[in-house]
Amino acid sequence: MAEKETKKSEIREYISSILIAVGLALVIRTGVVQAFYIPSGSMEDTLLVGDYLLANKFVYGAPIDIPGTNISLGRLPGLRDPQPGDIVIFRSPVDKERDLIKRCVAVGGQEVHVVNKVLYVDGERFGDPPLSKYTDRNYYPAAVNPRDNFGPFKVPEDHFFMMGDNRDNSYDSRYWRSVPQELIKGKAMSIYWSWASDNRGPYYRGLTSLPGVVGTYLWRLPGRVRYGRLGDVIH
């Protein structure tokens, strides 16, 4: 009888440990840090396709979502709001199922104006980030495409104007205006893993669930790791 009670106690302890671990993981993911994968080149060359990064959700006040849904129950208090220059993860204003990552260039009350690809905030030129780039020599008028000529546009209070560092290849606030505070999820913090793309195939079916790994030989995987980016702090 005592042996049965001991086994039951061990099982209860085991289950309790699992539940505590799961609970802590959910708390950390909800309010402290979360992992994200970079699937597109809109932030090149600051962030590359195949980068895996950690986001600090605590600094801005993390949204409290029902797990597995985009239903928000509010936000935890944050230390500060996004500031110009921050690289921010947020829910897309036009597709609530997607998370986006862009650089905040202006906040509520500021005026944004893009003239022939040059960004001005409150009438002063906003310096290009060190690894930003332009890939198209053409300039489009605002009536054709807001990419190169936009505004002036005053950012509403509690909103943030976001732009990709790859300025000619980023679908951002120039197209869908500013991001409301309730869609902000976190601040990009550091790169913990990075794969270079490999489209030479053939597909290895056992790895199809891993982004960036599909379509590669196993023996090529070590050579695709961008070792120099691992642990980089994101600026």
Residues classed as catalytic: 42, 102
- Residue 162 CB-density burial (10 A; 0-12 exposed, 13-18 middle, 19+ buried): buried
Rounded Cα distance between 195 and 207, Å, is 14
Contacts of 214 (CB under 8 A, 6+ apart): 203, 204, 207, 208
Rounded Cα distance between 211 and 37, Å, is 8
Helices (H) and strands (E) in the chain, counts: 3, 13
Strands 99-107 and 87-91 turn out to be antiparallel
CA angle at 83 for the pair 82 and 86, rounded to the nearest 5°:
80
